Amino acid sequence: MEEEAERPMVGKIVLITGANSGIGKATSMGLAQLGATVIMVSRDKAKGEEARNEVMEKNGNKRVDLIVADLASLDVVKRLAKEFKRRYERLHVLINNAGGINSKRTLTKDGYETTLGVNHLAHFLLTNLLLDTLKKSAPSRIINVSSFAHKLGKFDFDDLCVERRYSALGAYSRSKLANVLFTYELARRLEGTNVTANALNPGMVRTRFGRTGSKGMSFAFALLSPFMKSPAKGAETSIYLASSPEVEGVSGKYFVKKRPVESNKLSYNRKMAKRLWEASEKLVAKQMTTKGRTEAKDGP
């Protein structure tokens, strides 16, 4: 009984994107320590293997796996889902953690604005492709890592890929608002399935996030670094939402410091959430399969 209390994730399978560094690696570390089987997703094989080995060595948990996948390609995201299903029959926790900010407008391999493509569309597709496995494994949990920046986000559905007046912060804030809108719509569509969906803000964390942007952006992050949390502190809410019995059955919430709080007023707009879902489905239609897709529920 004591071991169960100390390692409550024994027997649970967790998939984490963006897991080779920062919050993702710290989340992998924490959940491996709690006994979970952790599948780390990294776009860089060498960095992924290094992070995987570190997680195993520090925890003595050999149930740590790696899948290499670049979320900037939807075909690769589909292969990621297929490869996961080839290796595992169950999935108890999906943590959509990977994300980035880009000082200049660039495009994914599918021709979509990169911030939206990686931060939202890749996770929208991955989640939908894994829904059948999550439902089969219920009770299971989906956790979307958003940001305080979502409160600055706005949507122009006529310019989702930001062809007009691109700004790094604007694109990032929009993608993080998309994370929350997606979470709330997903939670509504999953009612009665025993699969929950929640979003979180990890806070300002000392990672390499933002350091690959413009000189001004890198300088700003360097100045703020002393006031930021460590990756381990930033991962606490993700670990809590993945493992705590306190949130069993809790769905459609936005968490900060392990507590549900109010999110951007726009994030509660059901029409906007449904429109984003439908727009996202069209953008990933080539890679989407009918298996695991969820239907909209009637409601205001």
Q: Are strands 259-261 and 254-256 parallel, antiparallel or unpaired?
A: antiparallel
- Residue 92's region, left for phi above 0, alpha for psi from -120 to 50, else beta, is alpha
Reference 243, options 32, 66, 26; nearest CA is 32
Mean pLDDT score, 76-105: 97
Q: How is residue 150 annotated by DSSP?
A: G
- Please give the structure tokens belonging to residue 50: 């290094």
- Please give the structure tokens belonging to residue 192: 């009665």
The domains of the chain are located at 2-283
- Please give the structure tokens belonging to residue 139: 């009770």
pLDDT of residue 55: 98
The per-residue pLDDT of the chain, averaged, comes to 90
pLDDT of residue 296: 55
| 176 band by pLDDT with thresholds 50, 70 and 90 | very high
Max CA separation in the chain (angstroms): 58
Query: Between these two residues, 218 and 31, which has the higher pLDDT value?
Result: 31
Is pLDDT of 88 > 80?
yes
Class level of CATH domain 2-283: alpha beta
Contact 85, 78 (CB under 8 A): no
Please list the active-site residues: 172
pLDDT tens across 107-126, in order? 999 999 999 999 999 999 99
- The whole-model pTM stands at 0.90
Mean pLDDT score, 178-189: 98
Is pLDDT of 92 > 60?
yes
pLDDT tens across 33-71, in order? 999 999 999 999 999 999 999 999 999 999 999 999 999
| 7 band by pLDDT with thresholds 50, 70 and 90 | confident
